[in-house]
């Protein structure tokens, strides 16, 4: 859903399940790819960008309401924060959670390393 936002260099944040990416820290570098699993035999990953991690923290999913760029930093600027909270919760196995904003998530922020990100 956010591949175009990565290509446009407008997505700078992702949220993941709190139990994942535990060792990720600021300064780490990642290669963002189009698809990592389920590739047919002989297919290759498509690299979207090289990034450096700026911050990693565990927070309540509902904290997105207080962010300056909110869902825009997630590459989903068209989506209201409340809708994003429900969307994220459902996508991470919490569809029936009564208060999804109270779920913990790992918020990962990065900066792009390629020259076109500075334009």
Q: Tell me if 89 sits within 8 A of 100, measured CB to CB.
A: yes
Sketch the domain layout of the chain as residue ranges: 3-118
pLDDT at position 69 = 86
- pLDDT tens across 47-83, in order? 999 999 999 999 999 999 888 888 999 999 899 999 9
- pLDDT tens across 77-94, in order? 899 999 999 999 999 988
Two tokens, residue 38: 């389920």
pTM of the model: 0.89
What is the overall mean pLDDT for the chain? 90
CATH 3.10.400.10 fits 3-118, yes or no: yes
């Amino acid at each position: 859903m956010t591949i175009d936002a990565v290509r446009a260099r407008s997505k700078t944040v992702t949220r993941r399940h709190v139990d994942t990416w535990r060792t990720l820290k600021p300064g780490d570098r990642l290669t963002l790819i189009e698809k990592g699993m389920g590739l047919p035999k002989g297919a290759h990953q498509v690299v979207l960008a090289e990034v450096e991690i700026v911050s990693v923290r565990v927070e309540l999913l509902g904290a997105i309401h207080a962010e300056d760029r909110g869902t825009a930093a997630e590459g989903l600027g068209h989506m209201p924060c409340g809708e994003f909270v429900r969307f994220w919760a459902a996508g991470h196995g919490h569809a029936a959670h009564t208060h999804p904003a109270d779920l913990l998530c790992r918020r990962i922020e990065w900066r792009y390393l390629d020259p076109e990100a500075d334009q």
